[in-house]
Amino acid sequence: MTKKVLLLLADGFEPLEAAGFTDVFGWAAIEGLEQVELVSAGFKSPLRATFGFSVIPQALVSELDPDDFDALAIPGGFAGAGYYDDALSEPFLDVIRSFAARDRTVASVCTASLALGAAGVINGRRATIYHQTGGKRKEELEGYGAQFVDQAVVEDGRLISSTGPGTAVEVALRLLANLTSPENAAHIRAKMRVPELDQTWLHRPQV
């Protein structure tokens, strides 16, 4: 049976963070050992990306049934582009809650873990976020009850979080491995010529 992933896009999302999922799952759909499908969706169309251009998602959230999907992927974005207006809205959070309630994998990149926090799904869980000197985002994440872990990518059960746009491909590959198999993810990594994960990089503190 084909595994389906919903790529949930907020207005103001960061393009590279979304592209990690679209490329990995696009390659997997063509070259993979198992069938997968990624569907991008937002609450309006077109959506404005962080750096000013417009993107047309494949569907509106209102046109889809979350129960049809096996996992949820969420890119982060910038406050100045309006990301949090969308990503912290109740309709957006309700989508996250619906996946968590069904024990489906939820993968977030960078600041998208704040949406997981606002949805109430990371209380008491290990998670990470983009972290700079001063620790604003770290404090926000911990304010939702998360246990902050200063690693590039963090998995806790069916939750995956990461630290920035450079981690997006790695998050997507982990999600692919969880949904299909580690062998399939390794196969796509090789096809895409993505280097093997450097464990030093994985554990290096952000600041």
Residues classed as catalytic: 110
Q: How far apart are the first and last CA of the chain?
A: 43
- Residues 141, 147, 151, 153: what is their CA dihedral angle, to the nearest 10 degrees? -80
Residues in the chain: 207
Query: Which residue type is seen at 162?
Result: S
DSSP-derived 3-state class of residue 194:
coil
Q: Are strands 153-156 and 159-162 parallel, antiparallel or unpaired?
A: antiparallel
- AA letter at 197: L
**Residue whose pair of structure tokens reads 């700079």 in the numeric block:** 132
With contact defined as beta carbons under 8 Å apart, do 145 and 122 qualify?
A: yes
**By the 8 A CB rule, do 162 and 171 touch?**
yes
